[in-house]
Structure 1
Amino acid sequence: MFVLDRHGIPLQPARPAMARKLLASGRAVIHRRTPLVVRLKDRGAGSSAVPGVEVGLDPGSKHTGIAVFTNDKGTRTGLVAVQLDHRGGRIRDSMAARAGYRRRRRSANLRHRAPRFRNRTRPRGWLAPSLRHRVDTTMSWVDRLTRWAPVRAVHVERVAFDTHAMSAGRPLAGAEYQQGTLAGYEVREFLLAKWGRACAYCAASGVPLNIDHIHPRSRGGPDRVSNLVVACISCNQAKSSMPVEVFLAGRPKVLARVLAQAKAPLRDAAAVNATRWALWRALAATGLPVHTASGGRTKWNRSRTGATKSHTLDALHVGVLDQVTGRPATVLVAAATGRGSYCRTRTNAFGFPRLRLPRVKQIRGFATGDLVRAIVPAGKKTGTWTGRVAVRTSGSFNITTAAGTVQGIGHRHVRRLQRGDGYAYTTRGEPDALI
């Protein structure tokens, strides 16, 4: 829970029990409902010193983990955990569909429309809209947290793998590529991501995985990362020192897949790295101290503290730390939904308009995405419904609650709790939280 003083200046975050006491005693009012932010009525700026908090970010392709924690000489205590769900995939699909519609209209027997290229060049640092969305939404949440909490520093994963640690001018030997050193964790994290955290030979997942040489070392195989795969214990023992061509002689399709995937780089590596570098530059422009680390370092930290794999726990373990003494029990999941569309029509399968949309987004004072509460006194929809509203010009709204969607709620029974901000909020539990 975030706390502001009466002038809107952020104070140290508090536990939800403290918020209930402040609200019950009348000392505070609700400033924002999701996430919960309260504003004190009897405390101004400078009344006491605020130690401050730090923010950890675990950028990802589909999800970004955000953790707010205190840091006392390397000892971290998690206060707030947020999982930000991106909609980059939907943006990519929408733009691909739009491009397909345009290409068809140019080639079909329709009114000629010449392509408008004009030799346009993309500016330096340009990102595709689906990637720029990830940077913008993450920065939006960093800006929110700096308004709600006294943020002193930001920790972020700038790269997924430390390539210098993996190829430092010497081959990896012994326990370096198995366990124990940070370089080994960089290699393991790279291989797990490349092979989908499953055995390269039998596709078994959820089991302990070892690192295996495609071309055995006993037969002159190198220790380069391009010659390494992850394999389950049974496949690793069965393969032993056999060449992969002999081991997979009876499975030619698996052999072809392994050899092809071993040579191919990570498909999303370039896009993810570009996004992370753009995010780092945007964070540096805020003026806050920004500390960077790699994904291998995060995994090494989690192994020392005994935490499981999740986006929010990764954000809590980013960078240099000694121990973690507390983790939030509840994670706020913020799914990006957008703020509507500029398009005033819907298209059919061929790209032609089939219906027209309203020119205004607000209906009866409500807009799609608002957090509302509806109290229906009688009828089939009797009850109290709280959730995200979808408005209709008829005045009969749909409300999406935690239990599902309730359709046909009259606007007279609806009261707005919070304006829509482009996100749909839910909560989930952290499996191994330390209260």
Structure 2
Amino acid sequence: MSNFVFVLDTNKQRLNPVHPGEARRLLNQGKAAVFRQYPFTIILKQEVKAEVRPLQLKIDPGSRTTGLAILNGSQVIWAAELTHRGQAIKDALLGRRQLRRARRNRKTRYRAPRFLNRARAEGWLAPSLMHRVKTTLTWVNRLCRYAPIAGISQELVRFDTQAIQNPEISGTEYQQGTLAGYEVREYLLEKWGRKCAYCKAKNTPLQIEHIQPRSKGGSDRVANLTLACEPCNGAKSNLPVQEFLSGKPDLLKCILAQAKAPLKDAAAVNSTRWALFKALKGTELPVTTGSGGQTKYNRTNLGLPKTHWLDAACVGKVEQLQILTTQPLLIRATGHGSRQMCGTNKYGFPTRHRSRVQIHKGFQTGDIVVATVTAGKKIGSYLGRVLCRASGSFDIATKTGRVAGISHKYCKPIHKKDGYAYAF
């Protein structure tokens, strides 16, 4: 049950995706050819007349991973999980800033720090956050080129679905609506790592627990809530956390610090959700929204496991789902390499020279190739990401490990470098 295959006609117009078995039959009979490897797309060699059914693209934005799902009515026919590289971008900018600060403080000419002469545009986002928006938009545009996407559904974390369904809802009825508790529970699960805060037990039913008991003046605010397994929750009862953990000062300090700290991932998603929403509006496709609580409510009612692509399929109003794929495409943003001409060590001193030439023997580091070696000690077939050298002796990173010393003569490219790595 792998992803359906995208199909283009002879004029490169989008047709309905087909089952992998049907795509295999068309390729074997010579009626189609491979147009693109990732996402896998075929192009027909003969003109056909077919009714094109509109598809819905659903997006579950995340701090580290974004879920993507394409639905044909209630059928999930294509799915992917897009892993961002926001932390890598942040670390690279931090290293650059530290290098420039060290250079400014050396015994060279004085370099005044520039703080007040850099204006930021309205709606500015840090590069590590803007990367999430642009990467997601890149894949939305790419999927729209290969599939007849007619609408987009995005999860907006704070979108109030209860007020939309019933504008007059208020008071206790609003607080105890259909989605009551789902937003808070999901937030706590992410914040506390889906494990008991006191014994660190995993894969066990967890209960929402007050760090400072309500009977001792504690509130219902999220900063006073944590997760505990049933034995720990019963043992703590209404004891203050300082008394319950009097013999474990390190654990007490850790819990109190984590309770006050905001959820970093949630802050990243909240910072980028409206920027992504505005970018999706620019595609001129109708965009609908749903909340994280509604997504979890749908997934729980349908009895589906917690994954990013299934969360994407459950975004918005969902009554039933038919899962026709269980092998989502795993996409990892790798970037396009470094523009540094001189490599430095951790102290900022130069250690090596970086060549301007990136293409060697027609290949570039990051290309996905098939190497069929017919002679020597490494006879066999290898599929993976190539690491190029000027000498023409390449390394190939396969699923089982890295194979060194493969001549460029045996390599055949199947997917050119595009800044992403792929797996299933």
- Alignment TM-score, normalising by the size of structure 1: 0.89
Q: Which residue of 2 aligns with 1:60?
A: 62
The residue type paired with residue 152 of structure 1 is: A
2: CA distance, partners of 1:58 / 1:48:
31
Q: Which residue of 2 aligns with 1:184?
A: 181
Q: Which residue of 1 aligns with 2:197?
A: 200
2: CA distance, partners of 1:208 / 1:266:
22
1: CA distance, partners of 2:300 / 2:26:
39
Q: For 1:144-163, what aligned pairs fall within 5 Å after superposition?
A: 144-159=142-157
Q: Which residue of 2 aligns with 1:5?
A: 9
CA deviation digits over 1:266-320, x for unaligned, max 9? Answer: 2343322111221111001111111111211111111111111111111111111
Question: Structure 2: any 5+ residue segments left out of the alignment?
Answer: 164-168
- How far is 1:425 from its partner? 1.0
2: CA distance, partners of 1:17 / 1:173:
49
Q: Cα distance 1:16–1:106, how it changes in 2: closer, same or farther (>3 A)?
A: same
Q: Cα distance 1:98–1:108, how it changes in 2: closer, same or farther (>3 A)?
A: same
Aligned partner of residue 101 in structure 2, secondary structure: helix
2: CA distance, partners of 1:216 / 1:112:
57
2: CA distance, partners of 1:219 / 1:351:
54
Q: Which residue of 2 aligns with 1:305?
A: 302
- Alignment TM-score, normalising by the size of structure 2: 0.91
- Choose 314-323 or 192-201, whichever is displaced more: 192-201
Q: Which residue of 2 aligns with 1:70?
A: 72
1:79/1:328 contact within 8 Å kept? yes
2: CA distance, partners of 1:335 / 1:160:
27
Q: Which residue of 1 aligns with 2:124?
A: 126
2: CA distance, partners of 1:388 / 1:105:
37
The residue type paired with residue 296 of structure 2 is: K
CA deviation digits over 1:378-424, x for unaligned, max 9? Answer: 10121222221111111111111222221111112222222111111
Q: Which residue of 2 aligns with 1:37?
A: 41
Q: Cα distance 1:403–1:292, how it changes in 2: closer, same or farther (>3 A)?
A: same
2:161/2:291 contact within 8 Å kept? no
- How far is 1:128 from its partner? 1.2
CA deviation digits over 1:158-203, x for unaligned, max 9? Answer: 22686999xx9868999x5xxx931211121122222222222222
**Are 1:27 and 2:25 matched, yes or no?**
no
Query: Out of 371, 374, 379, which is 2:371 matched to?
Result: 374
Q: Which residue of 1 aligns with 2:403?
A: 406
2:159/2:290 contact within 8 Å kept? no
Q: For 1:168-247, what aligned pairs fall within 5 Å after superposition?
A: 181-219=178-216, 221-247=218-244
Query: Out of 331, 334, 341, which is 2:338 matched to?
Result: 341
Q: Which residue of 2 aligns with 1:98?
A: 96
2: CA distance, partners of 1:162 / 1:226:
22
- How far is 1:84 from its partner? 0.9
1: CA distance, partners of 2:306 / 2:327:
15
2:159/2:289 contact within 8 Å kept? no
1:59/1:65 contact within 8 Å kept? yes
**Are 1:50 and 2:47 matched, yes or no?**
no
2: CA distance, partners of 1:68 / 1:7:
23
The residue type paired with residue 22 of structure 2 is: M
1: CA distance, partners of 2:158 / 2:256:
23
2: CA distance, partners of 1:253 / 1:160:
35
2: CA distance, partners of 1:29 / 1:173:
55
1:371/1:417 contact within 8 Å kept? yes
**Are 1:359 and 2:391 matched, yes or no?**
no
Aligned partner of residue 328 in structure 2, secondary structure: strand
Q: Cα distance 1:146–1:171, how it changes in 2: closer, same or farther (>3 A)?
A: same
Aligned partner of residue 142 in structure 2, secondary structure: helix
The residue type paired with residue 357 of structure 1 is: R
CA deviation digits over 1:327-367, x for unaligned, max 9? Answer: 41212111111122222221122223222222122111111
Aligned partner of residue 156 in structure 2, secondary structure: strand
The residue type paired with residue 92 of structure 1 is: K
Q: Cα distance 1:113–1:57, how it changes in 2: closer, same or farther (>3 A)?
A: same
RMSD: 2.4
Aligned partner of residue 330 in structure 1, secondary structure: coil
Number of aligned residue pairs: 415
Q: Cα distance 1:181–1:348, how it changes in 2: closer, same or farther (>3 A)?
A: same
Question: Structure 1: any 5+ residue segments left out of the alignment?
Answer: 428-435
2: CA distance, partners of 1:304 / 1:361:
51
The residue type paired with residue 35 of structure 2 is: H
1:186/1:296 contact within 8 Å kept? yes
2: CA distance, partners of 1:293 / 1:141:
20
2: CA distance, partners of 1:233 / 1:249:
20
